[in-house]
Amino acid sequence: MTKVHIGAIHHASLIVADTRRALTFYRDVLDLPVDPRRPDLPFPGAWLQLGEQQIHLLELPNPDPTENRPSHGGRDRHVAVTVESVAVLADKLDATGIAYTRSRSGRAALFCRDPDGNALEFIETGSPVSQ
> Which CATH number do you get for residue 77?
3.10.180.10
Establish if 116 belongs to a structural domain. yes
- CB-hemisphere CA count at 13 Å for 52? 4
pLDDT by residue (tens digit) across 82-94?
999 999 999 999 9
Establish if 5 belongs to a structural domain. no
Q: State the total domains in the chain.
A: 1
Establish if 4 belongs to a structural domain. no
All residues at 6 or more sequence positions from 59 whose CB lies less than 8 Å from its CB, including other chains:
15, 16, 17, 18, 19, 22, 43, 44, 45
Q: Which residues of 93-109 are buried (b: 16+ CB within 10 A; e: fewer)?
A: beeeebebbebeeeebb
Across the chain, what does the average pLDDT equal?
Answer: 93
Establish if 19 belongs to a structural domain. yes
pLDDT by residue (tens digit) across 9-53?
999 999 999 999 999 999 999 999 999 999 999 999 999 999 999
What range defines the domain where residue 66 resides?
Answer: 11-130
